[in-house]
A and B are shown apart, each in its own frame.
Chain A
Amino acid sequence: MATTTAADFRLDPVSGFKIHKTANTLVKWNAFAAVVFLLVGGLFGLLVALTRMPSVQLLNPELFYMALTAHGLVALIVWVVFFEMAVLYFLGAHVLNNRLATPGWAWTQFWLMLIGTVLIAYCVVIKGNSSVMMTSYPPLQADPLFYLGIILFAVGALIGCFVFLGTLVVAKREKTYQGSLPLVVFGGVTATVIAVFTLVSGAMVMIPTFLWSIGLISHIDPMMYRVVWWALGHSSQQINVVTHISIWYFIASLVFGAKPMSEKVSRLAFLLYILFLQLGSVHHLLSDPGLTSAWKIFNTSYMLYLAVLASMIHGLTVPGAIEVAQRRKGLDTGLFTWLRKAPWGNPVFSGMFLSLLGFGFIGGVTGVVMSVEQVNMIIHNTAYLPGHFHGTVVAGTTMAFMAVTYWLIPVVFQRKIALAGVAKLQPYVFSLGVWVFSIALMGAGTLGVQRRHADITFAGQPLAYEYPEIAKGLMDLGEIFAVVMSIGAVMFIAVVLASIFAGEKIPEGSAPWPKVEDADVVAERTGKHHVGAWGMEAPGTFVLAMILFVTIVLYYFINFKYLSTVWGLS
């Protein structure tokens, strides 16, 4: 068994984390790779946006389909999964004052994912024979190396999951923590369980597809491919959700000294994710032939919407924890004093809270409605889809990852945040961009604009159909705000690169951040045990949650109203 000495660690004086230097190096490399790929994926996204703007149409269709394939893979998969590897190692090692298990395997994870990414990029961008979109549905066929790249990437990520699990075993055996796992690490375990399911599904679908592309298998059933592929495609987004929710809890504690309102409730909500979240893969199969409605309804509802319940719980308990902490620290007046007096100029907090709002109101509300079996028929595969999932993956996940990066740079890279003024504004610019983009594309999709079209005017076609002017206007508006989103992403990348390469060094032993007192320690000192109003500790959060509730209910029935006016279908 490997042994570690005191020299292998350094102490973070603020969080109290005993930081394993090897683990820290791996967190750094994975996070750095993630940010580089965010830049690459974002640039392809900008090209896509400028082409889908009906009044610009920058790229010709062939280049557009190439750019869209590259954007989907790099931004949706590569950026987030590299970042998630950094988060898992951080949770298993740093948070538990622990060493990283099997660093050699962790490096294997890193290099396999990198080689996989390079292979994918080579096929899509340089060879140019793999414009099959991220989803790569057969019988459309890509270069064999394209599938091999995805397989290597997935195997790398799977190794990373097991390194994380091994690290937990080490922590337990070497007693680096007492009692139950901290909530954020429990969230990491949840994400890992889902990730293993996801990546094994990915292997089950990608290995036969690879064999088919080199001629060893004659036929891939296109429907079976979709059924299994979405156990990879959708579930990978569930890893993102669980990870960014863990980050919300983490930031609530870092910035406010907040503790979870109830460990029991938050952990139960994570458990509901493990049990039911995966069923959501069927959201993509609701208008497919050959699957029964009973099967679709059971799965699309995550069995009685129990995973939706879990998300609604986290959506309340994270801001609720912040509210209780703020009230205990003396801001126990009115409904929203706690929120008004929050540090809105600190991008760690503002990014996290914007992620919470964006994910809940844009990604969450629309996700619940569009996954109704019948409503899906008037939404499936329209521009509504990219609108929706930018509300989850970009407004939610990416924004949360950016927010926690601002906190991580001083702690992990031991550098002060450079360009602090840019960092302060960045979450607002980025969120404004993605929120308007999402809403505009969902509007255009509701009016029928289809996704993945290089040109929505059907120029020169005898049977051409003309979308309503307002739909084209919405596409223009949405894509203009996609440019705003890109500016926000560039601001983030500039801050990260400037900080880690030119930021002021923080000497070992110095505080990376000012110390934040735990709210319950403050309450103990001041004797402020009973906070809140109306018999609730977090009445302001309850009001916010009720606004979300009313939004969902209204939006749900608006969609059924619209559905009830279309052609009869039975």
Chain B
Amino acid sequence: MGTSYTPPAANWYREPVERTEIWWIVLAFSWCLFMFAWMVGWHFVGPQNMNNEAYKTTPEAFSKKVADMQAKYTVRKDTATGEDVVAPPPGSDVYLAAMQWQYRPILELQKGQKYRLHMSSLDVGHGFSLQPENINFQVYPGYEMVISITPNKSGTFALACGEYCGGVDAMGHHTMLGRIYVKE
């Protein structure tokens, strides 16, 4: 007489809806509206949001910005790699380049200070992943994303890559790293 694989009764659209379903729909839809409002509301009251500021760029232009910053604010050599550690002043623009297979330069920031972090890729797509905070963004070649970051903890933070970016056995997506030091 009635199943899901036989045509319904001719007046199916007039049949009343039973109470189990009505209650559930009311409850579920209220939750849907709440979730929507909360996601919008977090933009106004929450301290973690994307501002979606982004610019078109090129690998050459972005490399130059990185090099300029590095020339200006290098403070020491890193003990692990011997590379420059760059410590831009609080509030300034900080440039971080993703490339096969590393993030450079190594940065040093101060806890509780705000920085405008610019990110772009010099080759293929990469994924910014700050560990152990576990903050993740997509990084493209040709696009420069800006996000204001305020470290609220001090210590040594790693950057891993969240987007598959090719590679061979010795070097590749799984060896791509960078580092951010945060001072008290």
Contact = CB atoms under 8 A, between A and B. Distances in A.
Interface in B6-55: 6-10, 12-13, 15, 17-21, 23-25, 27-29, 31-33, 35-36, 38-40, 42-43, 46-52, 54
Given A95-B5, A564-B46, 7 more contacts: A15-B5, A293-B51, A305-B35, A380-B138, A549-B27, A549-B28, A549-B31
B18 A261 contact: yes
Interface in B118-159: 119, 123-125, 127, 129-145, 147-153, 158
A137 B20 contact: no
B60 interface: no
A-B interface, 5 closest residue pairs, ranked by CB to CB distance from nearest: A465-B158, A381-B162, A568-B150, A289-B145, A305-B32
B23 A182 contact: no
Contact of A537 (B20, B119, B165, B167): B20
Interface stretch (A348-356, A450-458, A491-499, A503-511): A450-458
10 contacts: A61-B168, A137-B164, A221-B142, A264-B15, A289-B137, A374-B42, A448-B132, A520-B1, A569-B150, A570-B47
Contacts of B137: 287-289, 377, 380
A293 B148 CA distance: 15
A301 B39 contact: yes
Interface string A287-299: 1111111001100
B114 A568 contact: yes
Given A264-B15, A453-B173, A250 B4 contact: yes
Contact of B13 (A138, A263, A306, A312): A263
B5 A223 contact: no
Contacts of A257: 3
Contact of B141 (A139, A178, A316, A453): A139
Contacts of B90: none
A454 to B, nearest CB: 4
B161 interface: yes
B8 A182 contact: yes
A521 interface: yes
Contacts of A570: 47-49, 51, 147-148, 150
A231 interface: no
A431 interface: no
A218 interface: no
A297 B46 CA distance: 15
B177 A461 contact: yes
Given A293-B43, A301-B39, A222 B2 contact: no
A287 B21 contact: no
A566 B133 contact: yes
Contacts of B177: 458, 461, 463-465
A418 interface: no
Contacts of B174: 61, 453-456, 458
Interface string A367-385: 0100011100111111000
Nearest to A385: B162
A214 to B, nearest CB: 19
A461 B175 contact: yes
Nearest to A451: B162
A284 to B, nearest CB: 9
Contacts of B50: 287, 293, 373-374, 377, 569
B152 A567 contact: yes
Nearest to B134: A448
A549 B34 CA distance: 13
Contacts of A321: 4
Contacts of B29: 309
Interface residues of B, number: 94
B39 A463 contact: no
A320 B80 contact: no
Contacts of A29: none
A259 interface: yes
Contact of A290 (B2, B127, B143): B143
Nearest to B47: A568
A184 B5 CA distance: 6
B47 A564 contact: yes
B48 A568 contact: yes
Given A179-B7, A223-B143, A453-B173, A287 B136 contact: yes
Interface in A257-294: 257-265, 285, 287-293
Interface string A169-196: 0000000011111111100000000000
B58 to A, nearest CB: 12
B162 A259 contact: no
Contacts of B127: 380-381, 450
A180 B24 contact: no
Nearest to A454: B174
A48 B33 CA distance: 40
Given A137-B125, A262-B15, A566 B162 contact: no
A553 interface: yes
Contacts of B12: 180, 263-264
A539 interface: yes
A365 to B, nearest CB: 12
Contact of B163 (A15, A381, A553): A381
A468 B132 CA distance: 9
Contacts of A223: 140, 142-143
A301 B31 contact: no
A374 B135 contact: no
B145 A382 contact: no
A288 B119 CA distance: 11
A309 B21 contact: no
B49 A374 contact: yes
Contacts of B10: 179
A62 B169 contact: yes
Nearest to B147: A569
A458 B50 CA distance: 29
B25 A569 contact: no
B178 interface: yes
B33 to A, nearest CB: 6
B164 A297 contact: no
Contacts of B129: 381-382, 448, 450
A258 B25 CA distance: 21
Given A258-B4, A447-B134, A520-B1, A306 B32 contact: yes
Contacts of B23: 536, 542
A377 B135 contact: yes
